Structure 1
Amino acid sequence: MTEPRGTLTIRTMAMPADTNAAGDIFGGWVMSQMDIAGAVAAVEHIGGRVATVAVEAMSFIAPVQVGDVLCVYTWIERIGTTSIKVGMEAWTKSRATPDRTKVTTGHFIYVALTDDGQKRVIGETATA
């Protein structure tokens, strides 16, 4: 089994309300969990407010089932003048087995914002 890359940033359980007609968890739900995790990583790294500006890449590898625990691991790929790129992997841990499965990878870009929502240079105070 391959180990996840990065730091465990969030864990949550997939619930029945998040399924499609086939009973699998919606890809959009997984994407939203990854967006939350990426924002957490960005805020912790640069401090202050951020907003998602792009999903540069995302690959769905395996389905997520109801009851699976979704774990999102993140790492910082690049820091620009006003933006930060966060890489991430989502893994599941099934109720039925102790095994983990990589289900999704992605690269999200966030822009640093001031407290009033204006773009800011990373390293400057968020209240600027």
Structure 2
Amino acid sequence: MSDAPIGQLLTRTLAMPSDCNANGDIFGGWIMSQLDLAGGILAKEISGGRIVTVSVSSITFKKPVKVGDVVCVYGECTKIGRTSMSIDLAVWVKPVKENGVGERFMVCDATFNYVAIDANGKPRAIIQS
């Protein structure tokens, strides 16, 4: 596990009570949705238009996320094909406590795969500048 996030900060949000499972931790599905939102932002910027998520190559949940944690998603594009791209993502949290902010740590990492699409939903070439 790295000591610092890799890639750029794509999103920040707050884990809320409505995002909890029966154990009082944040749902893994909610974390996955935050990963997809963040990855989608980067994929759209890279492709210059519409994209769709086609697969998740890997996802590993390392630690639970608690209500009140600041959830930060970092990412970097690791592969660009003709119409597709792979984006490595990591969720880091900053626990916010009454006595201040705790040390940030990684709770999850994943690789999401996206395809650039045209107005008809068909794959289109990624035009890089």
Question: Please, what TM-score do these two structures have when normalized by structure 2?
Answer: 0.92
> What corresponds to 1:31 in structure 2?
32
Distance 2:42 2:102 in 1: 27
Structure 2: give runs of 5+ residues left out of the alignment.
Answer: none
> What corresponds to 1:109 in structure 2?
113
Distance 2:78 2:84 in 1: 11
Deviation above 4 Å: which 4+ runs of structure 1? Answer: none
**Would you say how many aligned residue pairs link Structure 1 and Structure 2?**
124
Distance 1:23 1:36 in 2: 23
Distance 2:64 2:31 in 1: 10
Question: Which amino acid in structure 2 is aligned with residue 106 of structure 1?
Answer: A
Question: Please, what TM-score do these two structures have when normalized by structure 1?
Answer: 0.93
Structure 1: give runs of 5+ residues left out of the alignment.
Answer: none
1:101 CA displacement: 1.1
Distance 1:99 1:120 in 2: 42
Distance 2:6 2:126 in 1: 25
Distance 1:67 1:80 in 2: 38
CA RMSD of aligned residues (A): 1.3
Give SS of 2:96's match.
Answer: coil
